A and B are shown apart, each in its own frame.
Chain A
Amino acid sequence: MLFVVVLILMLTGAINYNLSLGHALTFLLAGLFFVSIFHTVRNLLELRIVPGNAAPVFAGETAKFPVFLENPRPNVRCALALSIAPDDESTADVAASASASVAVSCAVSRRGVFLPGRMTLSSRYPLGFFRAWAYLTPDVSCLVYPRPIRAPLPKHSETFASDQWQGGKGQDDFTGLRQRQPNESFRRVAWKAAARDAERPLLNKQFSGGGARELILDWTMTSAEPDAEARLSILTGWILESEKQHIAYGLRLPECSFPPSHGARHRDACLKALALHA
């Protein structure tokens, strides 16, 4: 309200010194002050808002809810601020008769399904004398995985050979060639051999030593921790670490279990199970 103070000072000055133009100046600014009410309101008027679900995040990270703003009016809208938490505003401009999207961020601290609750849409544009605002409670959510705790992977006590021809084979020492199976990776194909004789089926190089592992991450393996949340965090950390090391892993929780595998889909399914663990 600095502006109102300035206006009153200016009016006083204009009266005291009998400045006719001073009156005019003050009144013009007062006019701007009142007119800007409508222009601020117009900035939000008839705006259509389509909120979306946020991509899953880990606890302690920031959830970003995409919001699609559609402007059916022929005037541009500037500096629309959307926020869930009052101190974290995301701003967007929407051109005339156009649409734009903005990611509204909100820090999340607990695993589970995060419901953002009330969102605030506000604007101080054009002159900042007034703030127009609207509340909306979008029906959106964000899945929050447990906060990962970095921990060494458990000893592969439960590493087992589920597949005979793959089991026991390592990655270090070349031991020979073997016909490639259709579902095997192309990474170990002996291309030189293939180039020599186009008629023969593809051969794979065989190695021994090291050892491809499969891990079963079991709820019971974390029983040293008394806190359930910490146990979930440890499991989360293991899943991330296994993904990083390209180790196939399975998950066993009291309510469900996942057979060993890897990849983004498998990881997300496991993490979701951890997030929603009751």
Chain B
Amino acid sequence: MLEEFARLEKRLHVDSRDWKAALLRFLARPSSRSAGPLDDEFPWIFAVIAATAAPHVSHLPLWLSLFCGIVLAGRVLLWKIKRPVPRGLPTLFALLGTAGIALEYRSLFGRDPGVALLFLFITLKSAEMRSRRDVIFIIMLGFFLLLTHYFYSQSIFTGIWLLLSILLLTATLLRLHGEKRSLRQTFGYAGELFAHAFPLMLILFLLFPRVQGPLWGLPRDAHAGLSGLSETLSPGSLDDLIQSGDIAFRVKFDGDEIPAKSDLYWRGPVFTDYDGLTWRARPFYLRGRAETTPTVDPEQRVYRYTTTLEPHNLRWILPLDMPVSAPANSFLTSTFETIVRSRVGMRTQYRFGSVVGNTIKVEESPPMLHEALLLPGNANPRTRAFAARLKERFDSPERLSSAALVHFREEEFVYTLQPPLLPEQNSIDEFLFETRSGFCEHYASAYVFLMRAAGIPARVVAGYQGGEVNPIDGYLMVRQSDAHAWAEIWLEGKGWRRIDPTAYIAPSRIEVGIRAALPATDLLPALVRLDSDWIRNLRNRWEAANNPWNQWILGYNPELQREVLSRIGLNDPNWRSMLTSLGVLCGGVLALVAVWTFRRRQSESPEERAWRRFCDKLARRGIRRFAWEGPIAFAERAEDAQPEIGALAREAALCYARLHYGVGEPALLERLKNCSARMARHPKTVNEGFA
């Protein structure tokens, strides 16, 4: 090594005091520890770490990804120049990284810090591979890290990525346990193992008794990053939602009869409390349940439909306004919000029945009406004055309301997603009389304020409006960008009436959708805005493919399992019957796998098989053919050992040799088989005389 270094130094003409020389000397220094016997497998391990950790980069803090990336790059460099990892460095990095994560998340427990720690450790573990056990530990970490990807996405793409990753991890396990064949054969064998494991996976997936999670309290960040309507409404609070092309829920109407687009109001939270800036929904426990379901005209058509709601981690669900029947585990509040027992943390299906017309509930409790008239302090004097003027001119609430809406339509109001910022004081005044541009929440909020100021009970309702039918599968898709806010006013003797001020300012928002209503300068995500036919078609197909994936694979919960099992004849499935059928089916599949694995492929020709049988018979008499022994030589040896079968052995060997090495006619094969049969007639005489 030293000579080599000397040569290197001479060739490069470096001064030994030069830093380059110092570096070279460091690199050429004989290593005290061997670089490790697992160096050959390093590319595999690197691939495992990259495949399992890489997708997490999108949601981990940038510094952590960079840190781990640099560590990994350094490790690859050390492997390239065949140097050991400096002692103690991995420990130092682990401490640094853990401290960083603790600072970043203010905790080391919970979902996201946990994932970050796993991410850190699998990277650092690459620097500590002294034995096969270490590498197997990396692979096990990798399996677990793969699971954590599902916290963030369970899309088809994630599924495919993970399937490929497991294939890689399996192939790496093969390598670690002695596989030395080519890359293709290694992956081929991993694929074969997969193919054998797949039926078991299907059975376990279908029959393994599902338990509704969570088993214990989820960490607080368990559902972080879910989007949906929030519990408050203030100017700009819908911005993020409207910018998002994500699907909020999908609806399948029975008989595919979908109400007119302008009737598709999906009712969410109802806001009655206003502090001058923000509308708030009363907590459900204060609100109380509705005494009865909304009374509707019995003549009215009831639409029945199933909604697949994406998780939003809140308790309300979104029926078509106005629901007349709701799922069993839900209830209606007195403001007709539909509330489920626990937060919607996973994609769930709900059955509803709704009418799209007005309710005819004519009773309302006085406290509720009082609440719907409250206004904060004496803010917005101009609006109050305007309301007072309206009240003087119009005696009936209907006409007053209409006049207000006419005001919205006739004055120069603009519908835009980028309204000028409103002041915290007198924001309604500013909006109604100065800026005059905003979107649904501004209009609904201003309108309700105006009505309350004029003495008409009013409230804001948030939800979604519209939706788009996917022609591929007939589902109506409601996106986050369809988020909407409207108003309800109380008309004596008629009940609550839905009023949508936005419809008066930008009718196309209601009739066509947000794309049509916005000026072209407003920024919207490409998917929401794009009108191009083929992209829309592509998106429809993609979402139609996603739908069964969502419903049957991701939505396979205890209820669906029960339903599926009773459909395939397992009536009233309970734990015991499920486990029994699980055991029987798995046993059966494993038996099939065993037969398939142990079978001998029919690769031998008929004469080879006949000859093998003959040799097996001889072997039972104590004469075993060696692998290297030709037929004639074997026959001679057999004759030496047991002269009485010599003639038979020679005949068989000759037949086989002619068939296999020469041009043999079919009759020879018969003779060969005949030899086996005749062998049975020779009694076994070997050594028996002395027994």
Contacts and interface: CB of A to CB of B under 8 A. Distances in A.
Interface of A: 2-3, 6, 9-10, 12-32, 34-36, 38-39, 41-42, 45, 48, 50, 70, 73-74, 76, 78-79, 91, 93, 97, 99, 124-128
Contacts of A19: 147, 150-151, 154
A27 B208 contact: yes
Interface stretch (B214-222, B535-543, B635-643, B648-656): B214-222
Interface residues of B, number: 63
A34 B601 CA distance: 23
A24 B140 CA distance: 17
B598 A42 contact: yes
A21 B149 CA distance: 10
Nearest to A129: B173
A74 B147 contact: no
Contact of A42 (B148, B556, B597, B626): B597
A39 B173 CA distance: 14
B166 A25 contact: yes
A27 B204 contact: yes
Given A21-B162, A45-B598, A10 B143 contact: yes
Given A15-B211, A35-B593, A93 B147 contact: no
B212 interface: yes
Contact of B150 (A22, A34, A45): A22
Interface in B118-149: 136-137, 140, 143-144, 146-148
Contact of B200 (A12, A34, A42, A48): A34
B534 to A, nearest CB: 30
Contacts of B71: none
B159 A10 contact: no
Given A10-B143, A13-B144, A21-B554, 19 more contacts: A2-B136, A13-B148, A15-B213, A16-B216, A17-B213, A21-B162, A23-B556, A24-B201, A25-B147, A25-B162, A25-B166, A30-B201, A31-B196, A31-B199, A31-B201, A78-B179, A125-B177, A126-B174, A127-B173
A78 B200 CA distance: 25
Q: Give the top 3 A-B pairs by smallest Cβ distance, nearest first.
A: A79-B178, A31-B197, A31-B200
A128 B136 contact: yes
A27 B201 contact: yes
A129 to B, nearest CB: 9
Contact of B204 (A12, A31, A36): A31
B371 to A, nearest CB: 37
Contacts of A18: 212-214, 345-346, 557
B215 A6 contact: no
27 contacts: A13-B148, A15-B210, A16-B214, A17-B213, A17-B214, A17-B222, A18-B214, A21-B158, A23-B210, A23-B556, A25-B146, A25-B147, A26-B147, A28-B201, A32-B170, A32-B194, A36-B193, A38-B590, A38-B594, A48-B627, A73-B600, A78-B178, A79-B179, A91-B178, A99-B627, A126-B189, A126-B193
B213 A16 contact: yes
Interface in B577-607: 586, 590, 593-594, 597-598, 600-601, 603
B544 interface: no
Nearest to B626: A50
Contacts of B199: 31
A17 B218 contact: yes
Interface centre among B158, B193, B194 (most CB of A within 10 A): B193
